[in-house]
């Protein structure tokens, strides 16, 4: 079992560019979560899918951020018109079924917006 896979591991973008982050959950897991981690804000919940359907996106900034899960094997987080304050480590996690199951985190994508 390869664990949760996130690509790329590092991404540098210029202000105003688009960034797309990829996550491949553990096979057989039906719940996928996205988080953003910074030193100042800590670990912030962004969004949650179960069986590919969006369940809770209350943490997503309403403008510029979007997430999709087109199939059970991957999810994407897209940030349009990136800003320096978007610089963070973006973590993806998966769990077997629900929030109350253990979450397995990927290694994260470190995004730097210049």
Partner 1 sequence: GDSVTQTEGLVTLTKGLPVMLNCTYQTTYSPFLFWYVQHLNEAPKLLLKSSTDNKRTEHQGFYATLHKSSSSFHLQKSSVQLSDSALYFCALSPNAYKVIFGKGTHLHVLP
Residues 26/1, Cβ–Cβ less than 8 Å: yes
**Using CB under 8 A, which of 55, 64, 66, 74 touches partner 1?**
55
**Using CB under 8 A, which of 103, 109, 111, 113 touches partner 1?**
103
- Judged by CB under 8 A, which stretch of 11-19, 20-28, 38-46, 60-68 contacts partner 1? 38-46
E-strand ranges in the chain read 5-7, 10-13, 19-24, 31-38, 42-50, 53-56, 65-71, 74-79, 88-95, 104-105, 109-113
- CA nearest to 15, candidates 79, 105, 110, 91: 79
Torsion region of 97: left, alpha or beta (phi above 0 gives left; psi -120 to 50 gives alpha) = alpha
- Judged by CB under 8 A, which stretch of 22-30, 42-50, 60-68, 74-82 contacts partner 1? 42-50
**Using CB under 8 A, which of 21, 33, 86, 113 touches partner 1?**
33
Least separation in angstroms between residue 111's CB and partner 1 is: 16
Residues 104/95, Cβ–Cβ less than 8 Å: yes
Residue 22 or 105 having the CB closest to partner 1: 105
Least separation in angstroms between residue 90's CB and partner 1 is: 12
Which residues of this chain interact with partner 1, rule CB under 8 A?
4, 33, 35, 42-43, 45, 48, 55-56, 91, 93, 97-100, 102-108
């Amino acid at each position: 079992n390869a664990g949760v896979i996130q690509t790329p591991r590092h991404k540098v973008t210029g202000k105003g560019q688009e960034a797309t982050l990829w996550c491949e959950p553990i096979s057989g897991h039906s719940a996928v979560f996205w988080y953003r981690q910074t030193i100042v804000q800590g670990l912030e919940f962004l969004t949650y899918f179960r069986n590919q359907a969006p369940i809770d996106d209350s943490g997503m900034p309403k403008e510029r951020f979007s997430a999709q899960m087109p199939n059970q094997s991957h999810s994407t987080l897209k940030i349009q018109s990136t800003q320096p304050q978007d610089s963070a480590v973006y973590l993806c996690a998966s769990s077997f079924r629900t929030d109350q199951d253990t979450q397995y985190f990927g290694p994260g994508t470190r995004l730097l917006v210049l």
